Amino acid sequence: MALSIPAIGVSVLVSQLGLNPDQTVQVPTDFQVPGWYRLGPSPGQVGSAVILGHVDSYQGPAVFFNIRQLVVGDAVDVTLADGVVADFAVTSVAMYPKDQFPAQQVYGSHGSIGLQLVTCGGTFDSQTGHYLSNIVAYTSLVRTIAPVPTDAARTEGRN
C-alpha cells in the first residue's frame, strides 16, 4: 500500500499496524513511514480506514508533520496492493486533547467510505516527551480507479 498527499509533499509506502498487548493501537516504528490500522477496513471499503503517522522526532519533522495544514478538498490517494487507487478528499481537520480523542468517530463505521489520517499535535510536554493532542484529517472517497491492464493481460484472451 502506498499513500500520496500532494498538498504536503507526502508520497510513501505504508506499513501495517495492529494492537499492542494492552489493546491500544500500535504506532509506526519508523518516523517516516505511516501505518494502516489493519484491523479496520482497507482504504476504499465501507467504513473508516485509518492511517497513523508521526508528526516529528528528536531528529526533526516526520511523515505527517504537515497534516495540520491540509484544507478541505485536498487530495489523499491510496494505492492498494492490487493496483486499485482509492482517491479521497479532505473534508475537515480537527485537533483533540488525547484524553478526549473521539475513537468511535475516527475508527467507527458510519456507513460511508472514509479515510482518517491521525498524528500527534498541539502542545508538546517535555516532561513526558509526548504531545498532548491528536490531529485528525478526515476524508471521504471521491472515486476508485482500477489498475490499467498491461499489454500481456489485454492480449491473454486472444489466442
Q: pLDDT for 19-40, tens place per residue?
A: 999 999 999 999 999 999 999 9
What is the Cα–Cα distance from 70 to 85, expressed in whole angstroms?
A: 20
Q: Say which residues have a Cβ less than 8 Å from residue 125's Cβ, sequence separation at least 6.
A: 131, 132
Single pTM value for the model: 0.91
For 125-151, how does the pLDDT look when each residue is reduced to its tens digit (9 = 90+)?
Answer: 999 989 999 999 999 999 999 987 766
Q: What is 2-149's CATH topology?
A: Sortase; Chain: A; (2.40.260)
Pick the closest to residue 118 from 13, 4, 25 (CA basis).
Answer: 25
Specify which residues 96 forms β-bridges with: 134
6 pLDDT above the threshold of 60: yes
User: Any bridge partners for residue 116, and if so which?
Assistant: 50, 138
| CA dist., res. 38 & res. 112, Å (int) | 18
Residue of 42, 37, 44, 46 lying closest to 15 (CA atoms): 37
Task: Give dist(CA 29, CA 101) in Å, integer.
Answer: 21
Q: How far is residue 9's CA from residue 1's CA, in Å, rounded to a whole number?
A: 17
pLDDT digits (tens, 9 = 90+) for 89-129: 999 999 999 999 999 999 998 889 999 999 999 999 999 98
Tell me the pLDDT band of 159, cut-offs 50, 70 and 90: very low
pLDDT of residue 12: 98
pLDDT band at 78 (very low <50, low <70, confident <90, very high): very high
More confident residue, 154 or 70: 70
H-helix segments, 1-159:
103-107, 151-155
pLDDT of 122 reads 93
Identify how many contiguous H helices and E strands the chain contains and give both numbers. Answer: 2, 11
